[in-house]
Structure 1
């Protein structure tokens, strides 16, 4: 089993987040059933899903998901739960429920990059590498590519800017531009 260190110096008084940190499934379930928000955050923007995933508590991750936790939630550094995760079963759960393996945080790091930096166990690294490879193969088979989306957006932005500039020239033909 691999453990990921999550600095909890900003201990929370929020019972649900503490239950996620402690891995207390039954208490987490009671809190969620009584109406606690599954997307509540700590002072660093981490949700219960972030905290449970970092500790490999896949059962709590599944419970939070069942109660509507946002799997795409990011903390203040842009990390999803997958960025903080260092456990094979939790990674498989998050990816199978729609989290993209190649998502980058605010520093441009993917979950694989962060896992390598943290030195998590080799099984986790192999799984993340395999998932990234599958993502690349899907991209090469003609899956909708991020690059195409970016190129289209850039082309549209260029076209719009060009129209605005031409419109200005037509409206004000006597303005000296030098």
Structure 2
């Protein structure tokens, strides 16, 4: 039996990890240079995309993972676990948007920008979408909030740089359900 190709090893690694894996990690595990791991990952992703296999390679949170394409997810709902969390309220989405675009940010700053309560910060922390990232130098040293890797995963973002410009108002594609 011959040794598996680098693309086959990349695919196996992404499947086995079950989480986003960086090119640096792939290169280290497979003992190849990062540029070779990147080329093989790109080639594997293109091959999978063209083969209509029921899964795709997604670049997210600084790495790559295998996912079910959104078009097939409704057909597989009974098999997918854990069950999806209830949708976030509009207030929670507003608070999350303020944190994502203005981080690090204090609760008082969130409330001032929203013109209302930021009580949903607790819900966002429970869902591991935001976390405390430090303390402000302001009086009382209030907590500073920022987004988490889970935020990137849930919204299909590679990095915060993938957020659409605030002026565009084009946020619908981020809400993946």
TM-score bin (small chain): under 0.3
What TM-score, normalized to structure 1? 0.24
Higher Cα radius of gyration: 1
Q: Counting strand residues as a fraction of each chain, which structure ranks higher?
A: 2
Q: Counting helix residues as a fraction of each chain, which structure ranks higher?
A: 1
